Structure 1
């Protein structure tokens, strides 16, 4: 017979803080659920505020602090959204133009203005990729293609937080981007 050891405070909806070993500032979050491993250890599924996926944390880990507040687990937004710098994976902005790099190395400048897209991508290539050769940058910019796209949230636990999908002008929440396929 398997016995399960319960932790008195490890319950869905409880607010917690979590301290990473290399960063001493505690991060607030919420327990989204619990599960028991094959050897009987209880694991808390902790979603840190601002994140879209839960971490699997042993309930008795020193860096996990249980707070008194218990409430409903906030639902993750789903569907289409307008990207901004507060969203995960959207980290660069140059003169008001967001530039996104995808895993494959493709880039998208989120603007319908070609001149602004070129300026933002050129700055990105210089600052993030270390490209100093202006002729190389000009060759890259010549490959920028205007495209309508939508940004859509993925469910919790998906490989990535969101996807950019091609769309048509007039589609719900479609925005124009300038897309640069990876040279690799």
Structure 2
């Protein structure tokens, strides 16, 4: 019963991680298209929401995952890949990369006038945030394959790296938004 409860909570935590990643993706894409302050505010707010629950979801998915690893499966290759992938997700999406930038965006949004034009919008277009968001999303999709198929260490690592590589490649595609 305890194992089943932990598994359900682990899956729900993973869903919350994906919700945070999806919100980051939508908000960053919205910021790429924004021209005026009124266009920027909702996307900055969305990033704030993601920043509020995303870290908790990542901690929960780790905690329940570790419980499951100790309880049932030991330390098979796919579990090691999952832990390394979790660490990469945290490092690529943590405060070191995005927290300071988000705080700057919030301060800018709260101080600018409502009719600010394109120069304001260019201050919230941060190209590397788009790269990080899509790389993290690709990594997370690769992680789902790893967790579902439970392969060896090498195959699991390849799946996660391919996912991250696809996300990175997609982030390099030209778009209508200019930086």
TM-score over 0.5 for the pair: no
Q: TM-score range, shorter-chain basis?
A: under 0.3
Which structure shows the higher strand fraction? 1
Q: TM-score, normalised by structure 2?
A: 0.26
Q: Highest Rg: 1 or 2?
A: 1
